[in-house]
Amino acid sequence: MTFRISTTPLDPPTLARDLLDLRAGAYVEFQGWVRNHNEDQAVQALEYEAYVALAEKEGARILAEVATRHAILGAACVHRTGLLQLGELAVWVGVTAAHRGAAFEACRAIIDETKARVPIWKKEHYTSGATGWINCATRGDFATPAAPQPQAGPG
Partner 1 sequence: MTSVQLHYFALLREQRGLSSEVLATSATDAAALYAELSARHGFTLPIDRVRVAINGEFAPWNTPLLEGAELVFIPPVAGG
Binding site for partner 1 (CB under 8 A): 32, 48-51, 53-55, 57-58, 79, 90-91, 111, 114-123, 133-137, 143-144, 146-147
In angstroms, how far is the first alpha carbon of the chain from the final one? 37
The residue among 74 and 132 lying less far from partner 1, judged by its C-beta, is 132
Q: How far is the CB of 30 from partner 1 (least distance, A)?
A: 9
Cα–Cα distance, 155 to 153 (Å, whole number): 7
Cα–Cα distance, 82 to 84 (Å, whole number): 6
Q: How far is the CB of 113 from partner 1 (least distance, A)?
A: 10
Q: How far is the CB of 58 from partner 1 (least distance, A)?
A: 8
The residue among 63 and 90 lying less far from partner 1, judged by its C-beta, is 90
Sign, Cα dihedral of 93, 12, 8, 83: negative
Query: Helices (DSSP H) in the chain: which residue ranges?
Result: 12-17, 52-69, 100-117
Q: How far is the CB of 96 from partner 1 (least distance, A)?
A: 21
